[in-house]
Amino acid sequence: MMNSMPTVFLTDDDPAIRDAVELLLRTSGLAVEAFASAVDFLASDAVQRPGCLLLDVRMPGMSGLDLQKRLQEMGCRMPILFMTGHGDVPMAIRAMKAGAFDFVEKPFQAENLLSRIHEALALDARQRRRQARRNEVATRLALLSPREREVMERVAAGQYNKVIAAELGISISTVEIHRKRVMEKLRAASLSDLIQMLALVNGE
């Protein structure tokens, strides 16, 4: 069974840094899994699991920036905190422009590092709840018939029943029936609720 506990996935090729950071995080009550390379991280099931990625910028082979790009291509939205040396700051800034959550400079200030990690984990949890809700609504939308979907789109656009009936060539009572079924299948409590659901699945 896949571990659902939010985890900090620490990825750094320097064993001394891995050990020190892992000890800090564990003693702070955080779940940690350490990897010696980006390839090792990708070979694990970490991408599918909740958490954040604490990632070194410079690593032999696949760099931190390469891994960031690869994760984006995979559609992974896990928050990434880059670890950088002083000379890597411009590189880290580029990483943030590409969507990284933050970067922290070595040597670390423990309090700052832990604070940003907790914020990254909270962001990941929000994103996962939103995605779960989006999937739930998409599943309900798939239950609609083509006609019900036509009515739904017009209702969401603010059209009156009589206008919908005229456009679709059906009676107002038929529109009302379809409208009622749409609300029931989507479990929408109100028009506002319906609009919010559609905005969610459309990524708005």
Domains and CATH numbers, the chain: 7-127 (3.40.50.2300), 143-201 (1.10.10.10)
**Euclidean distance between CA atoms 24 and 47, whole angstroms:** 23
The 10s digit of each residue's pLDDT in 181-199 is: 999 999 999 999 999 999 9
Contact partners, residue 8, CB within 8 Å, separation at least 6: 25, 30, 31, 32, 33, 51, 52, 54, 117, 121
**Euclidean distance between CA atoms 75 and 80, whole angstroms:** 14
Q: Which of 59, 56, 38, 52 is closest to 8 using CA atoms?
A: 52
* pTM for the full predicted model: 0.79
**Would you mind telling me the total number of residues written for the chain in this entry?**
204
In this structure, what token pair is assigned to residue 109? 């200030």
The H or E element spanning position 82 is: strand 80-84
User: What is the block-wise mean pLDDT of the chain (204 residues), using blocks of 10 residues?
Assistant: 78 93 95 96 94 92 92 93 79 81 86 94 94 93 95 94 95 96 95 93 78
Q: Which of 180, 133, 137, 188 is closest to 161 using CA atoms?
A: 180
By CB atoms closer than 10 A (0-12, 13-18, 19+), residue 83 is: buried
- Structural contact between residues 124 and 51, judged by C-beta atoms closer than 8 angstroms: yes
The 10s digit of each residue's pLDDT in 133-143 is: 999 999 999 99
**Euclidean distance between CA atoms 54 and 120, whole angstroms:** 10
- How much is the pLDDT for 1? 37
